Amino acid sequence: MLFGRLLTAMCTPFTPDGEIDWDAQGALIEHLIQTGTDTIVVSGTTAESPTLSKDEKLALFSFTVKQVAGRVKIIAGVGSNNTVETVQFTRLAAETGVDGVMGVVPYYNKPSQEGIYQHFVAIANATTLPVMLYNVPGRTSANMTAETMIRLSELKNVIAIKEASGNLSQITKVISSVPDDVVVYSGDDSLTLPILAAGGDGIVSVASHLVGLEMKEMIDAYLAGDVQKAAKLHQRYQPVFEGIFLTSSPSPLKYALAKKGLIHPTVRLPLVEMTEDEKQQVDRWFHELVQ
């Protein structure tokens, strides 16, 4: 399995004045590697990709490739709602040395299923790198149906799907219908265990910033047949899975990582840092489960 079981959708550390914090980027990469991450996804939703310029994204890809030095895999988030620009950017991303690319269903446009299909065909044709499909209708306002994902899985370099629709029936249909060499990841930490039980392959996680080793332990326990242990870990860390989405992501995550001394809590507008009441809610599960 090229990208492993535990992938982390990495946030982008910013300085207090909103610039990329390169020292913190390096420290956070090291933290993720040490806590079980198999693959780092750079410039996905959790990275605040809508507020990153193309030059910033390319710099993040290059920096991460250099910092990682082959120890884990790197997937570049290249998605946008402009197919021509996505194709051009995919080619630029490939030149930075990343191991794969991830495209998202075009947002705001609300394309038809044929439009979604042709968008991903264009991405796949623009590179020889492995391609991950990303379905997250809660953010894009367009759901990629199981039939479209299955159809796209027939493309040579589409080898992974990140499914964050929350629709277990749809996800199960995808898992049961794609070729054996196409892996299906949960895009929702809370559904990691249910999707594993349905035959899925792992998680593209946000919680792994905070409880990576515990996520890895849960996955390994399930795969080893210790379902009871996996279930107990799932139950124990559910407050983390839910708490990091208390308000607009990644504000709660960045607040928690700041409490660990890894990054500043800075987010870029239109996101804002959490209120005092929200911080107190994070504090409750942080002190019990993370610190």
Which entry of 57, 73, 117, 162 is annotated as an active-site residue? 162
Kindly calculate the radius of gyration of the chain based on its CA atoms and give it in whole angstroms.
18
Mention every residue, 6+ apart, whose C-beta is less than 8 A from residue 268.
14, 18, 48, 51
Hey, what are 265's tokens?
Answer: 């809590």
3-state secondary structure of 268: coil
Which entry of 57, 73, 134, 185 is annotated as an active-site residue? 134
Kindly list the distances between the CA atom of residue 249 and the CA atoms of 133, 180, 244, in Å, as whole numbers in the listed order: 21, 33, 7
Torsion of CA 29, 2, 35, 62, to 10 degrees: 0
Instruction: Dump strand ranges (E) for 73-136.
Output: 73-77, 100-104, 131-135
Q: Does the annotation count 162 as an active-site position?
A: yes
Q: What own/partner pairs with CB < 8 Å and gap ≥ 24 does 116-119 have?
A: 116/142, 116/144, 116/148, 117/148, 117/151, 117/152, 118/83, 119/83, 119/86
Please answer whether residues 157 and 128 qualify as being in contact, where contact means their C-beta atoms are separated by less than 8 angstroms: yes
Residues across the chain: 291
Work out the number of other CB atoms within 10 angstroms of the CB of residue 282. Answer: 23
Give the β-pairing of 100-104 and 73-77: parallel
Indicate which residues carry an active-site annotation.
134, 162
